[in-house]
Amino acid sequence: MKVEEVKKSLRGSIAPIITPFHEDESLDLETLKRLIDWHIQSGSHGISVTGTTGEPSSLTLKERELVMETAIKAVNKRVPIVPGTGSTNHQESLHLTKLAQEMGADAAMVIVPYYNKPSQHALYKHFKLIADSVDIPLIIYNIPGRTAVNLEVKTLARLNEDCPNIIGVKESNKDFEHINRVLLHCGRDFLLYSGIELLCYPMLAIGGAGYISATANVLPSKVAEVYNAWDSGNVEEALKLHYDLMPLNDVLFKDTNPAPLKAALGMMGRINPTLRMPMDLPTESLQKEIRAVLADYGLVEKIGSEV
């Protein structure tokens, strides 16, 4: 798809799918395919892999390539697919973004490099070099809580002006003033996605294109329905769904993502709940809390005295 076509299609709930592993921590690509089918059948408007939720820093470069390839083939153009192609290494980010284009991804999501804390000048250069090297549309991923550096609005606006294929940003940023200024300075047609669950609905209200919410891994249909209700003009229904999802959002972030997600999906029988060290499943007490919340949503059976 051309850039303008992608901008029209890439809206709503873009589900950032976990990377499933076998018990021995090898990739479970058959389960990945099943998850993708489930998401599309459940109404997710797009698919993303190898973002934060997909544990990319625990994958080898070859594994990231394999997950991207598997996902792109599994989606098979049914919905847009946006793999995460960024890392702390510039050349690796460049390689993965070029590969995503060659594989037929609709867009690529490139994270602000983590750990090394580049300056705004360096961030501009990093993203511009990647954008100039490909034709594929790019979504920048700004998540200062993970990267220890915030991509400032003026830097993003400069990139938007200088790089026609930078079409949007995923803001996992609790500074809602910053988020408002993104659209002010980048234009109302710039695609703004929420990466923070409690800001998915508010982001739509200020002109956002949708969200890339980890909670979609557990309840994809309801997460997608928030956007559907908003898009159809049913603001009250969208707001109701926003609050209905809040208890689930809260419990899924009581430990570092995606540990609670994988525990929840394991309880639901969707995956083998394995993470790679240094990540691990939540404590037993938190897992009990997760199960209780899942039971409230009818996603698992109530146990013990809850029956």
pLDDT digits (tens, 9 = 90+) for 42-59: 999 999 999 999 999 999
pLDDT at site 304: 66
Cα 272 from Cα 250, distance rounded (Å): 23
Q: For residue 253, what pLDDT is reported? A: 97
Alpha-carbon 275 to chain mean position: 18
Nearest CA to 180 among 148, 208, 210, 143? 208
Q: Which residues, given as ranges, of the chain have pLDDT below 70?
A: 1, 304-307
- Is the omega angle on the peptide bond into residue 20 within 30 degrees of 0, that is, cis? no
Output the six-digit token pair for 307.
């029956």
The answer to whether the annotation marks 130 as part of a ligand binding site is no
Query: Rounded distance, CA 105 to CA 68, Å?
Result: 9
N-to-C CA span, the chain = 50
Q: Which CATH number fits domain 3-231: 3.40.228.10, 2.40.160.20, 3.40.50.720, 3.20.20.70?
A: 3.20.20.70
What is the distance between the alpha carbons of residues 238 and 303, in angstroms, rounded to a whole number? Answer: 31
Residue 115: the pLDDT is 92
pLDDT at 305: 47
DSSP string across 262-296: HHHHHHTTSS-----TT--PPPHHHHHHHHHHHHH
What span, in angstroms and rounded, lies between the C-alpha atoms of 103 and 80? 13
Angle at 238 between CA 233 and CA 243, to 5 degrees: 165
Angle, CA of 220, 222 and 226, to the nearest 5°? 115
Phi and psi at 172, nearest 5°, equal -95, 70
> H helices within the chain, ranges in order?
3-9, 29-42, 61-75, 90-103, 120-133, 144-147, 153-162, 176-186, 200-205, 220-231, 235-244, 246-251, 259-267, 284-296
**Is 283 annotated to bind ligand?**
no
- Which one is catalytic: 170, 193, 211, 227? 170
Domain parsing of the chain, residue ranges: 3-231
Please say if 201 is a catalytic residue. no
**Is-contact 110 97, C-beta < 8 A?**
yes
- pLDDT tens-digit map of 167-198: 999 999 999 999 999 999 999 999 999 999 99
Retrieve residue 19's tokens: 């990377």
Cα 150 to Cα 153: distance, rounded to the nearest angstrom: 9
Active site residue 302: no
Catalytic residue among 141, 193, 201, 211: 141
User: Of how many residues is the chain composed?
Assistant: 307
Cα distance between residue 170 and residue 140, in whole Å: 6
